[in-house]
Amino acid sequence: MSSATLPTHSPYPNDEYTVGWICALPIEMAAAKGTMDEEHGDPQRAPQEVDHNTYLLGCIGKFKVVVACLPKDEIGSSSAAAVAKDMLSTFPNVRVGLLVGIGVGIPDYGGNDIRDIRLGDVVISNDKENGGVVLYDFGKRLADGSFRSMYALDRPPWPLRTAISLLEAEHQTRENRISQYVNQMLEKYPYMRKKGFAHPGQSADRLFRADYRHVSGRSCAKCDPTERIDRYPENRPDTDPAIHYGVIATGSAVVKHTLTRDEIGQKHRAICLEMEAAGLMNNFPCVVIRGISDNADSHKNDQWQPYAAATAAACAKELLEYVQPRALDGERTVKDILNQGW
Ligand SMILES: [Zn+2]
């Protein structure tokens, strides 16, 4: 459906939307729009005055999806909490939540357990023991001197957990569909190519040693290539993003310091950093999906952000293919879960 023929209002009532998708940045909302199989226009029943969100409605596969974005220039956990609360009041039948957007990668090429996380790859919050999202700037020092992490989110609703297992299993037998869905997005909205949503090229992804600072300029042309971390191979055979499953660390500050990044990574076994998930604690049971746009180092620039937003959205779309619609029928609404506890 082209934008010229968009209906003013969705043909479906608000209570038919069962998947809630939250993003923080306009580029993330654009990527969400680019993954929709159908776009639905405005909500049939207008949000109440107290609801400050702007919504994007549509279909992805079998699901009716409502996307909300944080107000411009308001990133962080308190905004995310407000957006989730308003969404659930306007769309009372949301049963599963997705927090989708860009994040910081915590690669590790030093230890025994190499984590080869490249820019544009996607991280899905997932951990066997807990919700997969840890608050890195909170925690408890125990009597024996050890440190106990605090987890920001309860485990996601079971239809999402099952879907994550199915997705991971499926990708043992075939490539993921991220590149395919990003390409479809760029075909549907060719202008997005101009706005940087296509892969920037592997030469734009260079990882330097943690203590080596960026020299100057927008690119790393003047940075010393001998200070790069050896990755084997330096370039992958193709540009298809990989999906990594693990702990995502969430906190209130933008981390731009590599040693801090690595410390958080080691302390919490985290493979990604982000800033919004903490706000969804007790507000919005969800899974967090992050496209990696930088490594929190001084070489950071914004070049990868649109593409990383696109890969995260594409991954969310593929994950939804493994959520069983009937599982949602039996699932309590997020609103019910919050009212009654787990
Ligand atoms: Zn540099």
Express each pLDDT in 247-262 by its tens digit. Answer: 999 987 788 888 889 9
d(CA 339, CA 316): 27
Q: What is the pLDDT of residue 7?
A: 62
Partner residues linked to 228 by β-bridges: 208
Q: Mark the residues whose beta carbon lies below 5 A from ion ligand 1.
A: 214, 220, 223, 299
Ligand 1 mean position, distance from CA 288 (Å): 29
d(CA 210, CA 259): 6
Q: Label residue 127 exposed, middle or buried (CB < 10 Å: 0-12, 13-18, 19+).
A: middle
The runs of H, that is alpha helices, within 171-320 are: 178-188, 191-194, 258-268, 305-320
Ligand 1 mean position, distance from CA 256 (Å): 13
| Mean pLDDT value of segment 143-163 | 77
In sequence order, the 6+-apart residues with CB closer than 8 A to the CB of 163 are 319, 320, 322, 323, 324
Ligand 1 mean position, distance from CA 228 (Å): 10
The runs of H, that is alpha helices, within 171-246 are: 178-188, 191-194
Q: What is the mean pLDDT of the chain?
A: 88
CA-CA-CA-CA dihedral for 281, 282, 286, 291, to nearest 10: -10
Ligand 1 mean position, distance from CA 296 (Å): 12
Q: Provide, rounded to the nearest whole percent, the portion of the chain with pLDDT above 70.
A: 92
Q: Which two tokens stand for residue 1?
A: 């459906």
Q: What is the pLDDT of residue 281?
A: 67
Express each pLDDT in 69-85 by its tens digit. Answer: 988 777 777 788 889 98
Express each pLDDT in 184-214 by its tens digit. Answer: 999 999 999 999 999 999 988 989 998 899 9
* Whole-structure pTM value: 0.92
Q: What is the pLDDT of residue 217?
A: 86
